[in-house]
Chains A and B, each alone.
Chain A
Amino acid sequence: MVLEARGLTHSFGERLALAGVDLTVRPGVLTGLLGPNGAGKTTLMRVLLGIIDPDAGEVLLDGRPVQFADRQRWGYMPQERGLYPAMTAGGQLTYFARVHGLDRSTAQERARALLAELGLGDRFDSKAEQLSGGMQQRLQLGTALVHDPDVIVLDEPFAGLDPVAVEELTVTLRARVAAGRTVLLSSHQLDLVQDLCEEIVMVDHGRTVLAGPVAQLRAASGRRQLRLGMPGHDGRDWLAAFPGVVVVDEAADALRLSLPPDVDALAVLDAARRTAPVVDFGLDLPTLSQLFLAAAGEGSDAADAASLSGGAEVHA
């Protein structure tokens, strides 16, 4: 199912949290909702989930307005984690499955299967408060997945996870994506998710600033840099054929070139090889945080940049 937001606007009193956000999440494509803290990600997700009503705009599912009944087939994991501390792991999953309309026996079946998948197979009867932090995180994810939802919305699922847990979570989510579910996750750590998400939507100050497939966005950026190892060759004449290409660094034997969006990196490489032997080369694509800074423009300050690239350290 295709989840879409069209021109969503929402304000809390004077403060405009969403200023006309557009978003498309297609099934089978892991989509990331990215932006710095306070960009409006959580508000956007809460509007998508129907927890708060937008001032303007609409949420569409397969092109038609979302109904209350549709959302029974959705799964949501909010940013602030919360479980019933005195309830057992199995009890919680069964409860949330039944809240989403499953009957008791199906709900219990699903709860057992999901706990096994999340590595909590022997914890069905353990109380949530007796589980470790990492186990509680997985149980929390379980409450969003137990009813096998068509649409899965996760708010900052990677926050506070170690690299191993990030990998496990990624595997769990990829299985849903491969099964054709519509999955949207948010993160303020742009560079953490750039290898996980296939498509991204970047928001800043309540607006969509960049959206599309990650690979395409990075490749089409004007911030690509070509690195060429041409020992003993100092001539730059061959570059005249490529207007717009700028030398940014000439340290030692490595030449670093900045390529405008319309220049084919491979053509530059070929030209270099015709001029002199190239012993080493590489094309550096901009990181998502660099893309974000370029897209957000002057609006972003240094603090944003720090928050984007070093999120875990900065916010831990």
Chain B
Amino acid sequence: MTTGFWAGVRLVAGRAIAEAWASKSWRIITAVSVLVGIALVVVPRVLADDTTEYTLATVGQAPPALLTALEAAGAAGEFEVTVRTVPDAQAAEALLRDGDADAALTGVGQGAILYVSERADGTFPALVSQAALALAITDQLAQAGLSPAEIARVQATPPPEQVPVGRVADEGRAGVGFVSGILLYLALILTGTAIATAVATEKSSRISEVLLTAMRPTQLLVGTVLGVGLLGLVQIAAIGIPAAIGLASGGGIDLPAATTGDILLAVGWFVLGLALYAFVFAALGALVDKPTEVGAATMPANILLVASYMFAVIVTIQDPNGAASTTASMLPVSAPLVMPIRWASGLVPTQAGA
């Protein structure tokens, strides 16, 4: 045979890529993918950018220590506090009722009242209340004869450390998992369908018959899967890389601390899964005579994908390290969807493959 195995594969794959590259629609879709990838990161950040603002009404001048404490809490919790001074409690209540303030404080000592707006979520009133309480305690400790250093030591007692157990407490991480789930699912189903359609089209137009007189079926199969699969990967990268760069370059979401090895593992897992599905879709595409029948022929693979996807976004995001998720992330058909989401949750032990 004049053509070597891989030379033939390269030829078939190269043709598929060249055809896509020359087509306007493919370039447009890829450009749109890049924009979608950027939007995935930028849009939530722009939306989240308007820092929450709380207005606190105080009857009379508020103690400076209280304001300092609230400002410190605001810097940590990403909110800003505006303080308005009102002459009496009635004026404070009026502000709350009109929605011009989120909370109103009549004082810090004994008998002080904290008026709370119905709109305000529990966090801000609790913070104000805590700050007022701390201030009152400081006063009392000072009156009891403690030196400022002793008071500071008392106040420095750290609260119990919080450790999330089981369910992912971090919404950011769950969001990363959710978005990766959608992207991976779309990538698999679109690439798979593209491969099945390519195979069915060549078969229906009898081009495959002409090719098969000069090529081994395996060359044609591997070449088509590689070519169309690579095109699919390029589009995933078009969405995924801008999104990943955006996430990594600092933002509201803290990515789990992952080593390069972890990332490679997750990507490799997905590529292996894509390869598996690509061959399944190619085989299913070869069963039909017309490209229009591809949908029906690839139904079994689609069902598997949908089931894996549902499992990944419903079960795995909630409970990434449960027995079911662990099993699904090892099962070849569901692994490409489940494993990267477990990785996004940051809970995959490095020896997961063992």
Binding site for B on A (CB under 8 A): 46, 49-51, 68-69, 71-72, 74, 76-84, 86-87, 91, 95-96, 98-101, 143-144
Binding site for A on B (CB under 8 A): 1-3, 8, 11, 15, 18-19, 22-23, 202, 204-207, 209-216
In the assembled complex, 13 residue pairs joining A and B whose CB atoms fall closer than 8 Å, in A order, are A46-B209, A49-B212, A51-B212, A69-B1, A71-B213, A72-B2, A76-B210, A78-B210, A81-B206, A82-B202, A82-B204, A87-B19, A100-B3
A99–B207 CB distance below 8 A: no
A86–B215 CB distance below 8 A: no
B15's nearest neighbour on chain A, judged by CB, is A95
A144–B210 CB distance below 8 A: yes
B209–A51 CB distance below 8 A: yes
CB within 8 Å for A99 and B206 given contacts A69-B1, A72-B2, A72-B3 = no
A84–B214 CB distance below 8 A: no
CB within 8 Å for A49 and B11 given contacts A72-B3, A72-B214, A101-B3 = no
B204–A99 CB distance below 8 A: no
Further 4 A-B residue pairs, CB within 8 A, beyond A46-B209, A71-B214, A77-B210:
A83-B207, A86-B22, A87-B15, A100-B214
Cα A163 to Cα B178 with chains together (Å) = 64
Within the complex, what minimum Cβ distance (angstroms) separates A104 from chain B?
A: 10
CB within 8 Å for A86 and B3 given contacts A49-B213, A50-B213 = no
Cα A3 to Cα B205 with chains together (Å) = 26
Give the chain B neighbours of A72 by CB distance below 8 A: 1-3, 214
A144's nearest neighbour on chain B, judged by CB, is B210
CB within 8 Å for A84 and B19 given contacts A78-B206, A98-B11 = yes
Find the residue from B11, B202, B209, B216 having the highest chain A CB count within 10 A: B209
**Which of A78, A79, A80, A86 touches B19 (beta carbons < 8 Å)?**
A86
A72's nearest neighbour on chain B, judged by CB, is B214
A76–B209 CB distance below 8 A: yes
Give the chain A neighbours of B11 by CB distance below 8 A: 95, 98-99
Give the chain B neighbours of A46 by CB distance below 8 A: 209
B214–A101 CB distance below 8 A: yes
Cα A95 to Cα B8 with chains together (Å) = 11
A153's nearest neighbour on chain B, judged by CB, is B213
A74's nearest neighbour on chain B, judged by CB, is B213
Give the chain A neighbours of B1 by CB distance below 8 A: 68-69, 72, 101
A94's nearest neighbour on chain B, judged by CB, is B15
A99–B205 CB distance below 8 A: no
Cα A196 to Cα B169 with chains together (Å) = 81
Cα A95 to Cα B210 with chains together (Å) = 12
A67's nearest neighbour on chain B, judged by CB, is B1
Cα A69 to Cα B214 with chains together (Å) = 8
B216's nearest neighbour on chain A, judged by CB, is A68
Give the chain A neighbours of B202 by CB distance below 8 A: 82
Cα A298 to Cα B250 with chains together (Å) = 86
Give the chain A neighbours of B213 by CB distance below 8 A: 49-51, 71, 74, 76
A95's nearest neighbour on chain B, judged by CB, is B15
B8's nearest neighbour on chain A, judged by CB, is A99
Cα A18 to Cα B85 with chains together (Å) = 101
Within the complex, what minimum Cβ distance (angstroms) separates B22 from chain A?
A: 7
Cα A101 to Cα B211 with chains together (Å) = 12
Cα A96 to Cα B207 with chains together (Å) = 10
Give the chain B neighbours of A68 by CB distance below 8 A: 1, 216
**Which of B204, B205, B209 touches A49 (beta carbons < 8 Å)?**
B209
Cα A51 to Cα B214 with chains together (Å) = 10
Give the chain B neighbours of A81 by CB distance below 8 A: 205-206
Within the complex, what minimum Cβ distance (angstroms) separates B98 from chain A?
A: 65
Cα A76 to Cα B212 with chains together (Å) = 10
Give the chain B neighbours of A95 by CB distance below 8 A: 11, 15
CB within 8 Å for A82 and B3 given contacts A76-B213, A100-B214, A101-B214 = no
CB within 8 Å for A69 and B2 given contacts A95-B11, A99-B11 = yes
**Which of B2, B209, B216 touches A78 (beta carbons < 8 Å)?**
B209
A99–B215 CB distance below 8 A: yes
B207's nearest neighbour on chain A, judged by CB, is A82
B212's nearest neighbour on chain A, judged by CB, is A51
Cα A9 to Cα B1 with chains together (Å) = 27
Within the complex, what minimum Cβ distance (angstroms) separates B3 from chain A?
A: 5
Give the chain A neighbours of B209 by CB distance below 8 A: 46, 49, 51, 76, 78
Give the chain A neighbours of B215 by CB distance below 8 A: 99
B214–A82 CB distance below 8 A: no
